[in-house]
Amino acid sequence: MIEKELDPKTAKLVDDMLQGNARALARLITIVEEDGEDAHLVLGKLGPTGRAHRIGITGPPGAGKSTLVNRLTSCARQNGLRVGVICADPSSPFTGGAVLGDRVRMTEHSMDEGVHIRSMSTRGSLGGLPTTVHGVIELMDASGKDVILVETVGVGQMELDVMASVDTVVVTLVPEAGDDVQAMKAGLMEIADVFVVNKADRPGAESLLVGIRSMLDLVCQGDGWRIPVLATQAENNIGVEDLYQHIWEHRRFGLESGSFEERRAHQRHDEFTAALQKMVTHQFMQTVSADPHLAACVNRMNAGEIRPYAAASE
């Protein structure tokens, strides 16, 4: 099979993006979000990436994730780091549209040349992040970002895609939301590298902190990292610097213990498997449409003459 080449215009965008051009990065992200053949070609031209530290901010709706991302961005910029921000917003199951309002919520950074903010629609993904987020992370990394913050939608227990996309997962909880520990320990609570109880000035914050720490004492933390449980008031910028320092402490621990590279290796393998499945499916469906016998089989299935499993078997 002859591999298709990028058209000169898109290839020029890749070159400009690798030089740090923000407009080229934005246009390439749009191409990757469309998830077509050009997206695969663009990502194939990037070369090795992985220098940026990738931080996932996840948790239930209303936990103050966007405000926390905003404050962490400020911490990174004060330390001279270039920041990429990816914010997932839920899309309508009817129109596919989304509000994509995080640029509005992060107005203090929207004009900062050292920060690139991108809101993305989940487009039906149920894991808290759009399926194309890996490609967008790779683009931001290749463009020279030092830190990439990924904010998930906030859907609850099954919001686990972030674990396969980042190096450090910050699970953000909030008091006055019922029995958080009991409600989330089956999923979301198990992926945290750092726990944050945000809006810690509210009643119930201390009991939630104690509850999470008690739960962690009962769990075997196999890689040796002792998960910190922190209190923040992101709106008032209280406790955010401490969180920022713990995130970098987790990175140092991962590099020294080897768990950082082990996680990245798992992520690369998962991304490879997903890309392979997508390509094989696409090529197979092209074969189906071109082969009269296979096309006739699909038509019989669409007409209800045979069951889908029988058609697949045939």
In the prediction, which pLDDT does 24 show? 95
In the prediction, which pLDDT does 142 show? 94
Rounded-to-integer distance, Cα 24 and Cα 143, Å: 10
Rounded-to-integer distance, Cα 73 and Cα 150, Å: 11
Kindly report the average pLDDT of the chain as a whole number.
84
Q: pLDDT tens-digit profile of 207-238?
A: 889 888 888 887 766 678 899 999 999 999 99
Residues 197-204 have a mean pLDDT of 92
Q: pLDDT tens-digit profile of 235-289?
A: 999 999 999 999 999 999 999 999 999 999 998 898 888 888 888 988 888 888 8
Rounded-to-integer distance, Cα 187 and Cα 192, Å: 10
What is the three-class DSSP state of 224? Answer: coil
Rounded-to-integer distance, Cα 285 and Cα 216, Å: 48
pLDDT at 91 over 50: yes
Q: Any bridge partners for residue 172, and if so which? A: 196
pLDDT at 12 over 80: yes
Rounded-to-integer distance, Cα 79 and Cα 81, Å: 6
Residue keyed to tokens 């768990």: 259
pLDDT at 132 over 80: yes
In the prediction, which pLDDT does 79 show? 96
Q: pLDDT tens-digit profile of 138-190?
A: 999 999 999 999 998 765 545 567 888 899 999 999 987 655 555 455 566 67
In the prediction, which pLDDT does 61 show? 82
Residues 101-118 have a mean pLDDT of 75
The share of the chain scoring above pLDDT 90, in percent, equals 45
| Of 262, 227, 254, residue with least CA distance to 243 | 227
In the prediction, which pLDDT does 214 show? 86
